[in-house]
């Protein structure tokens, strides 16, 4: 049965993607899965709703290859998710995340991270008060896209940066008239430390920050602090803004002890930073970012 939704994973030999197709509560996947394997051990024979292609190389470069070489496949879908292979989730969660994005007309969105995940930003952690939060940043870890928006930001993948393009794409989505959000109603777990694939992704004699600042400079942007503009209350389905939104940013702070061992101090700092940023800063977006992106593509 043809779906409107596609999940693509850059898969290594320890990829968790087989679990994504498992039923949860007797709910089959409402998406197809394209496995763009960067390691031969991740290859399998194509099956029902699952296809495999060998695309070696780093993560973002591999995404660029997928977007350029698999247009015949991707063009058949309305929504597309690019998910890292160390994300633990299931069919029900992914189905729900696609459905929420469709129902709320989101351009780029992501599920929240469970508190036992390896996480860099406090804003990405689950907040049970909300159905979703409209935000100005979406991580590269497990972004969901409206297919038309993914086509609109596709040139970012060909710039040669393995980090930083996710700080730009929400500005483009906004200029396209779209909305970005963290979907707190859906939770996934990031199972490995952030940066564990640095060498594989080409960071041998350079740091993540080198690519980040190079990308931001190219678009005339500063590093955007991750801030929510508004949220939707999960129980009452009402809009939350202002002081209520700021105070609710405290919630992840009280769960920092659930972070994986060795990362709890970093989690405490990230949670405090999240509250401080939500309380004191306005959402930041670049200016004329879509125009700059189209000029680079030309």
Helix ranges restricted to H, 230-263: 242-248
pLDDT at position 196 over 70: no
Rounded-to-integer distance, Cα 177 and Cα 148, Å: 12
pLDDT of residue 198 exceeding 60, the answer is no
Q: Which domains does the chain have, with CATH numbers?
A: 5-297 (3.90.550)
pTM score above 0.85? yes
258-281 confidence digits (pLDDT tens): 999 999 999 999 999 999 999 999
| Interval 98-114: pLDDT, tens | 999 999 999 999 999 99
> Residue 9 has which token pair?
């994973």
**pLDDT of 173 strictly over 80:** yes
The model's confidence at residue 1, banded by pLDDT at 50, 70 and 90, is low
Among 292, 25, 278, residue whose Cα is nearest residue 175: 292
State pLDDT tens for residues 14-23: 999 999 987 6
Band of the pLDDT at 27, cuts 50, 70, 90?
A: confident
Per-residue pLDDT band at 293 (split at 50, 70, 90): confident
Average confidence score pLDDT of the chain: 91
Q: Higher-confidence residue: 196 or 179?
A: 179
Average pLDDT on 191-212 reads 69
pLDDT above 50 for 201: no
pLDDT of 193 over the 50 cut: yes
Taken in order 150, 155, 158, 159, the sign of the CA dihedral is: negative
Residue 256 has pLDDT above 50, yes or no: yes
Q: Across residues 31-56, what is the average pLDDT?
A: 90
| 24: confidence class by pLDDT, cuts 50, 70, 90 | low
Q: Is the pLDDT of residue 203 over 60?
A: no
Matching residue, tokens 């952690």: 125
For residues 47-72, give the mean pLDDT: 91
pLDDT for 202 equals 53
Q: Identify the weakest region by mean pLDDT among 22-26, 73-77, 138-142, 263-267.
A: 22-26
Tokens of 140: 């590269």
Residue 244: how many CA atoms within 13 Å on its side-chain side?
11
Q: Return the pLDDT at 35.
A: 95
Region 251-257: mean pLDDT is 93
> Would strands 79-84 and 144-146 be described as parallel, antiparallel, or unpaired?
antiparallel
Of the candidates 272, 266, 156, 271, the one whose C-alpha atom is nearest the C-alpha of residue 214 is: 156
């Amino acid at each position: 049965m043809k779906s409107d939704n596609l999940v693509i994973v850059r898969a290594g030999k320890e990829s968790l993607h087989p679990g994504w197709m498992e039923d949860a509560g007797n709910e089959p996947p409402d998406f197809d899965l394209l496995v763009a394997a960067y390691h031969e051990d991740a290859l399998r024979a194509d099956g029902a709703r699952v296809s495999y292609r060998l695309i070696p190389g780093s993560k973002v470069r591999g995404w660029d290859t997928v977007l350029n070489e698999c247009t015949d496949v991707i063009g058949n879908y309305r929504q597309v998710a690019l998910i890292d292979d160390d994300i633990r989730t299931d069919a029900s969660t992914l189905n729900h995340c696609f459905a929420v994005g469709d129902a709320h007309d989101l351009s780029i969105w992501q599920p929240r991270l469970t508190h036992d995940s390896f996480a860099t930003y406090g804003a990405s952690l689950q907040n049970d008060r909300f159905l979703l939060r409209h935000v100005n940043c979406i991580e590269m870890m497990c972004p969901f896209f409206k297919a038309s928006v993914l086509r609109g930001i596709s040139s970012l993948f060909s710039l040669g940066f393995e980090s930083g393009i996710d700080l730009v794409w929400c500005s483009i989505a906004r200029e396209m008239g779209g909305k970005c959000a963290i979907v707190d109603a859906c939770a996934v777990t990031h199972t490995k430390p952030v940066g564990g694939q640095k060498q594989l992704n080409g960071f041998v004699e350079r740091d993540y920050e080198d690519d980040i600042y190079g990308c931001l400079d190219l678009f005339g942007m500063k590093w955007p602090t991750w801030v929510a503009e508004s949220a939707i209350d999960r129980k009452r389905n009402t809009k939350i803004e202002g002081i209520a939104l700021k105070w609710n940013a405290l919630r992840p702070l009280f769960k920092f002890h659930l972070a994986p061992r060795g990362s709890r101090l970093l989690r405490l700092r990230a949670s405090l930073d999240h509250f401080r940023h939500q309380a004191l800063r306005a959402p930041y977006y670049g200016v004329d970012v879509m125009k700059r992106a189209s000029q680079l593509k030309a």
